[in-house]
């Protein structure tokens, strides 16, 4: 009877991830622990997986996307009431979205057990902008733009990336400064690696309803950021926007 109950999750093994904190940056190395607690009967665990996940908007709703995933250990048997702890070390990938606006990122840990409801643990984390991306945000603010929203969206045709199915877009509104009244909004799509940050910039210029319907009000450019120097980024971004004024 205990085996039958365990197969539907009653009295089954449990898994819990212990993170050292809840806020991280891309490129940061994290040391955590995964605890497996035995249930009321012994169970064979085929796999312990650890994944970093986000979600993005599509035309049909929202989908989840695995940013990174790896296996923690070989198969083993967890005996009744036994406790096992596994040390985990992983790096937050540079492709991890920043948790601003409508963006969520979470760590999911699970046990793969045949003929049973797989136990899992889900921990939401905060992901701050990388130093280079923060320099871009500081530059945008210095030019008089205010953060409006951020969201992960599907990129089905690979317009911005060929390695994943979504992008993260940040929208800013001009409130003051040299470009106030000239544009509707400034949209940024970052792609970061260990060596540099590429920012796709879309400038929506005020052009009236006819121009907007024909997408004639949109101007696009690309900005490369090698260092977290907000003054240098501000100068480059200013030139980029002025070219499309």
- What is the edge-to-edge ordering of all strands in the sheet holding 29-37? 14-18, 29-37, 83-91
What phi, psi does 47 have (nearest 5°)?
A: -160, 145
Cα–Cα dist 200/237, whole Å: 11
Boundaries of every domain in the chain: 8-127, 131-242
Nearest to 6 by CA among 116, 97, 103: 116
Q: Rounded CA gap, 168 and 28, in Å?
A: 20
**For 45-58, b where at least 16 C-beta lie within 10 A, e where not — what string?**
beebbbbbbbbbee
62 Cβ contact list (under 8 Å, min separation 6) = 55, 56
For tokens 């696009």, the residue is 220
Nearest-angstrom CA–CA distance, 199 and 241 = 13
- pLDDT by 10s per residue, the chain, length 245: 344 333 334 447 888 999 999 999 999 999 999 999 988 778 888 888 889 999 999 988 899 999 999 888 888 898 998 999 999 899 999 999 999 998 999 999 988 876 444 568 999 999 999 999 999 999 999 999 999 999 999 987 666 665 668 999 999 999 998 988 888 899 999 999 999 999 999 998 754 444 444 455 568 899 999 999 999 999 999 999 898 76
> Is residue 205 a contact partner of residue 104, using CB atoms and an 8 Å limit?
no
CATH of 8-127, one of 3.30.450.40, 2.60.40.640, 1.10.3720.10, 3.40.630.30: 2.60.40.640
Between CA 231 and CA 66 the distance in angstroms is 35
CB-CB contact of 138 with 103 (8 Å): no
Strands 218-225 and 197-205: antiparallel
């Amino acid at each position: 009877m205990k085996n039958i109950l365990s197969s539907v999750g009653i009295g089954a093994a449990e898994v819990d991830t212990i993170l050292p904190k809840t806020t991280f940056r891309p490129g940061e190395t994290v040391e955590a622990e995964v605890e497996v607690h035995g249930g009321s009967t012994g169970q064979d665990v085929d796999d312990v997986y650890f994944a970093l996940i986000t979600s993005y908007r599509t035309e049909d709703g929202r989908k989840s996307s695995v940013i990174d995933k790896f296996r923690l250990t070989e198969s083993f048997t967890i005996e009744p009431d036994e406790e096992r702890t596994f040390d985990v070390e992983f790096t937050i990938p540079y492709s991890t979205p920043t948790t601003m606006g409508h963006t969520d990122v979470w760590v999911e840990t699970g046990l793969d057990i045949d003929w049973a409801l797989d136990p899992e643990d889900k921990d939401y984390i905060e992901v701050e902008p990388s130093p280079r991306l923060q320099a871009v945000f500081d530059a945008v603010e210095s030019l008089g733009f205010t953060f409006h929203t951020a969201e992960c969206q599907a990129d089905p045709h690979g317009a911005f990336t060929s390695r994943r199915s979504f992008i993260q877009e940040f929208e800013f509104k001009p409130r003051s400064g040299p470009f106030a009244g000239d544009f509707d909004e400034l949209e940024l799509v970052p792609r970061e690696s260990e060596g540099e940050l590429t920012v796709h910039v879309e400038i929506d210029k005020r052009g009236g309803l006819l121009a907007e319907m024909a997408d004639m009000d949109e101007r696009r450019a690309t900005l490369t950021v090698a260092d977290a120097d907000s003054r240098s980024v501000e100068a480059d971004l200013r030139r980029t926007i002025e070219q499309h004024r």
